[in-house]
Chain A
Amino acid sequence: MKSPLLPRESLIAGAYGLGAMLILAALIVLGSRQLSHFDAALVGYTFASLFAMFGIVYRYSMWLQRPPTALYWRRGWQAFFTRRGRARNVGLMFRRLFSSFALNIFIWRRNWLRGAAHWLIMWGCVLAAAITFPLVFGWVHFEFADGSFERYRANIFGFSTFSFETDSLLGFLIFHGLVWASFLVIAGVMLAMRRRMRSHDALALQRFGEDLLPLIMLFAVSITGLMLVVSYSWMDGFAYEFLSITHAATVIFTLLWMPFGKFFHIFQRPAQLGVAFYKDAGQRGQQAICVRCEQPYASQLQVDDLIEVQRRLGYRYEFVTDRVDHYQRVCPRCRRISMALSQGKLWQESHGTAS
């Protein structure tokens, strides 16, 4: 049933991945003003990021080529760009971005502990990424302003922007941005770990690579980062070299592993938005009526799409009767009932039945 892994698909995905990687490389060169703002000490991070870029885009485009995903991708954009709904959709998109992505409301509904854990980890990571990537790529660059040592000026993409006093509160907050991010991540990881070690459901279902390793990596990145701060702030740089190599190792591992493990959901998840628009479009359109119970059960759009997807996947749910042409036209409840009834019929034939 699995669609064969055609070299063609891999080639396409490989090309996209390569392209994305080259674009990122070009942006690094451009944004760091021909590498003049580039910190050579961070070159390991840069190469890891470039590889991660390739991996993520490769996997994403492989994923997009699966029949159901491809269809949803297309349909999601179609639904979003319908001529009449475009303005409304942009509004909706922001609302959904806020409730689902900024607030994680759907996760809080599962259980407050899970909501809190995810929300802390997510915002910690967002903050950390927003700080580190531009710094690593040389896109953000600080230099002393006005020829004094009291003010810092931030250059973004080589353009000079705002400046602030070194020992101001803003300065303190900016220079310790990664510390704050670590606090968020560590708190979230602790909550998640507590659940994973206590709850029977987690204990039964979790796997090391899929569920525990990501938490361990996040913790390792955060704690080694914090230790660096401790080392240069209070311990006169004790073991700084060792710590910075360890930190680099944890970060690089995490980056390289991005396309493969649980972290890939960061890139898949936005598809949720597309689904929401697809559902909107389905609801506005015609509804499919079940051929057995004659009740509406889904959007006609989705039913027709599923018939197409199943055909491409090689399923043969077609019927050759005059009452129904494809099994997809039977609602889930009638599906549940029908198979059990056909089993009951065999029993009725084998012994009497009262009703």
Chain B
Amino acid sequence: MAQLPRDPLEIREQFGPHLAFSSGSRLDRGVEPDALVKTHCCFCGQQCGIQLKVKDNEVIGFEPWMEFPFNRGMLCPKGVKRYLQGSHPDRLLRAQLRDPAAEGGFRGIDYQDAIGRVAKQLGQLQAKYGNDSIGMLSGASLTTEKTYLMGKFARVCLKTPFIDYNGRLCMVSAGAGNKKAFGIDRAANPWSDIVGSEVVWISGANVAECAPITTSYVWQAREQGAKIIVVDPRITPVARTCDLFLPIKPGRDVALFNGVLKLMIEHDWLDHDFIENHTVGFEALAESVQQWTPARTAEVTGIAERLIRQAAEWWGTASTSFLMHARGIEHHSHGVQNVLGAINIVLASGRIGREHCGYATITGQANGQGGREHGQKCDQLPGGRDLADPAHRAHVAKVWDVDPDELPPPGVDAYELFRKIDRGEIRGLISLCFNPLVSLPDSGFVARMLDKLDFYVAIDFFLNETARHADIVLPGSLQEEDEGTVTQIEGRVIKINQAVDPPGEARQDWRIIQDIAAALGRPHGFTFNHSREIFDELRRASQGGVADYSGMTWEKIERQFGVCWPCPSEDHPGTPRLFEPGTPNPIAGDAGPFYFPDGKARFNLAEYTPPTEEVDAEYPVILTTGRVVSQFLSGTQTRRIGPLVDQYPEPRVEIHPRLAAQLGIQDGQWTTISSRRGELTLRAMVVKTIRPDTVFIPYHWAGKQSANRLTIAAQDPISKIPEYKVCAVRLRKAASPPANASDETSHGHPGK
């Protein structure tokens, strides 16, 4: 399509982001609610239990849910204020048709009319350019039932290989690394194993802001004697009081892990029995890390040598430990290598698959785990199955009642999908729960690609920045308006309960997908009447796979406060801790705890390569990006919640005082940051808590405040994750504030 239908300011005036507050007459919280609905927070992968207060089909507040074992009532500020997304003035209550003549660029149309138009356009494009001309983008904040249906819809209804999801920006490096090393992609341990371990190693994870509840586990471990090691380019709130802080240069994590492994070998801090009996590939790895002397490690990683030695000693000599990492080591063009490096030091220590001996990646999105298991990933089928594997295709095709040969081959990753738009191979796009214009790197490119599409339909509850480019927007559902399951950070499948009905003409997302299938005249396999029926089919589809859900029922999930997969039969309690003798293992059987035919874990050579874009004279400063506690991902929801916006209203660029002094920039001054792809002007935040060679910008904002205008679209060759965590920039003091500095910030109550 063409450009945005109207000026962005006019679209914003009509569709937001506007701010919702609890004060005022809209919600009266001090009264007796009709119901308290036990469910979970809609935001991050920790999926804290929460009770929503409901009155007159509106969510009017929350009450902590003390019994849910993961968080026992604890919540971060996003969880506390999440209830304000309901009854929001920006909520899409009708389908919207692009209309440059209408106020705000869109006009409301009848839902059935919209579905008819969508089906017609998709049908025409497929008739003209083939089935492969339609792409689908999905999300990992959806329930597993929806993600399952999205994958099935692409392969069975549209018959296109081109579906991928926003977990591509999140979990894929960890997933790929875990599969290479363990043959399975899941946190190896429940969080309760953190407490009681002697050393907790946190690499590239701002736990306090991105997984706040995890802090309670880390602090509890420390209270019981654990030493906390934090590796990060910034002194994060947890790093402030940790026992050992390693201020790593962004993009050098694998070098640190290799250097630590070399010291472990040198001092014989190894578990020889474990290496011998349960792993393969150690010798080759040991040989390869010999080059990583402490001096070289220090030089590459930018960490003082004594700190590296200290960390290696604590790690090497501990008898129990827990290593966790997050996007900090994964968002790299060698993210998988970083993950493998981390796993190598875990395997060499032999401390896995036992109580208080753990390893985990901290899942980002609500359903980051479940959303990557059941088939919305471009190369994957339900149950963690492989789209390229004939046996796997046959199993799933049977459940779906289709010919295995009709299933399309593996597709491409979400970013490649945009490159396919560029090449004219993809002409139509369906998106759900994904805001790529804010969340993908080099967002200028993404915007041009959206405008190049012949037809774009977005399903969402708010008109997010990407959906502004759509031809038709279908009004989807909030998390509290549907029922289903998600799989949280520990691999625990939990139950999302419906609190209210979708308002106006908004529909539950899976019903919208089924309506499109029906309108296309291809309803076969898309006639579910309830999301529970989808879950029951998913159970069968996942049966016998690695991510086996077949033994779960919604009742069992609620009764047990969640069931950890694999759970192969109804009398199986689930598997909170992996790699213990006797855990369900469809690949190794009784051969061993790891998910390879020989039951042994794999050491992988973890190669260090510098980031794709190194600093140079022209762009001499490293830019790294990340999150703040009060916002979530692309901010579609959190930039509309008043108290959260008040907490951190706009992005600031964090600069060390040494660098700031050189640039002549003072705290609070407007600063222009430019990369080879774009530039931003933000206020400076001068802090001693960041490496002097690095600056940091949080990425939750859109347009002129979007950090992803600067980031590089380099990707890991294996996982295809973009390199959000390192690129080269230059900074200068801005001569004046940016024009319309506040255009992108959320505004007060709408006039409508």
Q: Which residues of A are in contact with B by a Cβ distance under 8 Å?
A: 198-201, 347, 351-355
Contact = CB atoms under 8 A, between A and B. Distances in A.
B243 interface: yes
B240 A354 contact: yes
Given A199-B30, A200-B30, A354-B240, 15 more contacts: A198-B31, A199-B31, A200-B31, A351-B241, A353-B240, A354-B230, A354-B235, A354-B239, A354-B241, A354-B245, A355-B235, A355-B239, A355-B240, A355-B245, A355-B689
A351 B222 CA distance: 10
A60 B430 CA distance: 75
B235 A352 contact: no
Interface of A (DSSP majority class): loop
A198 B30 CA distance: 8
A352 B243 CA distance: 5
Interface in B230-280: 230, 235, 239-245
Contacts of A353: 240-241
A234 B179 CA distance: 92
Nearest to B235: A355
25 contacts: A198-B30, A198-B31, A199-B30, A199-B31, A200-B30, A200-B31, A201-B30, A347-B241, A351-B241, A352-B243, A352-B244, A353-B241, A354-B230, A354-B235, A354-B239, A354-B240, A354-B241, A354-B242, A354-B245, A355-B235, A355-B239, A355-B240, A355-B245, A355-B688, A355-B689
Contacts of A352: 243-244
Interface string B557-594: 00000000000000000000000000000000000000
Contacts of B241: 347, 351, 353-354
A351 B243 CA distance: 7
Most chain A CB within 10 A, of B30, B239, B689, is at B30
A353 B239 CA distance: 9
A74 to B, nearest CB: 39
Nearest to A354: B245
A287 B30 CA distance: 40
A352 to B, nearest CB: 5
A200 B61 CA distance: 14
Nearest to A199: B30
Contacts of A198: 30-31
Interface in B446-474: none
A354 B238 CA distance: 10
A339 B75 CA distance: 26
B554 to A, nearest CB: 33
A353 B245 CA distance: 9
Contacts of B30: 198-201
Contacts of A351: 241, 243
A198 B32 CA distance: 8
A228 B243 CA distance: 80
Contacts of B242: 354
A351 B30 CA distance: 44
Contacts, number: 27
A192 to B, nearest CB: 15
A352 B244 CA distance: 8
Interface string B640-683: 00000000000000000000000000000000000000000000
A220 B253 CA distance: 78
Contacts of A354: 230, 235, 239-242, 245
Nearest to B31: A198
Contacts of A347: 241
B364 to A, nearest CB: 25
Contacts of A200: 30-31
A198 B31 CA distance: 6
A190 to B, nearest CB: 18
A351 B228 CA distance: 11
Most chain B CB within 10 A, of A201, A347, A353, is at A353
Contacts of B688: 355
Most chain B CB within 10 A, of A198, A199, A201, A354, is at A354
Nearest to B242: A354
A306 B239 CA distance: 42
A347 B241 CA distance: 9
A332 B45 CA distance: 39
A355 to B, nearest CB: 5
A200 B28 CA distance: 11
Contacts of B239: 354-355
Nearest to A348: B241
Contacts of B240: 353-355
B269 to A, nearest CB: 21
Interface in B519-555: none
A201 B242 CA distance: 40
Contacts of B244: 352
Closest 5 CB pairs of A and B: A354-B245, A200-B30, A199-B30, A355-B240, A353-B241
Contacts of B243: 351-352
Nearest to B245: A354
A166 to B, nearest CB: 48
Contacts of A355: 235, 239-240, 245, 688-689
Nearest to A195: B30
A198 B230 CA distance: 50
A351 B227 CA distance: 10
A354 B232 CA distance: 12
B242 to A, nearest CB: 6
Nearest to B247: A354
Nearest to A344: B241
A352 B689 CA distance: 17
Contacts of B245: 354-355
Interface in B365-396: none
A61 B689 CA distance: 58
Contacts of B31: 198-200
Contacts of B235: 354-355
A354 B688 CA distance: 12
A354 B202 CA distance: 15
A284 to B, nearest CB: 32
A159 B244 CA distance: 91
A125 to B, nearest CB: 27
A351 B240 CA distance: 12
Nearest to B239: A354
Interface in B191-249: 230, 235, 239-245
A352 B239 CA distance: 11
B365 to A, nearest CB: 29
A276 to B, nearest CB: 27
Contacts of B689: 355
B476 to A, nearest CB: 34
A297 to B, nearest CB: 22
A355 B241 CA distance: 7
A137 B533 CA distance: 83
A199 B243 CA distance: 48
B594 to A, nearest CB: 36
A199 B244 CA distance: 50
A352 B228 CA distance: 10
A345 to B, nearest CB: 12
A346 to B, nearest CB: 13
A355 B237 CA distance: 10
A199 B32 CA distance: 8
A65 B165 CA distance: 73
A22 B244 CA distance: 79
A253 B309 CA distance: 82
Contacts of B230: 354
Nearest to B25: A112
A18 to B, nearest CB: 47
A239 to B, nearest CB: 40
A200 B245 CA distance: 46
A199 B230 CA distance: 47
B299 to A, nearest CB: 22
A354 B245 CA distance: 6
Nearest to B243: A352
Nearest to A200: B30
Nearest to A347: B241
A198 B244 CA distance: 53
A137 B163 CA distance: 90
A354 B243 CA distance: 7
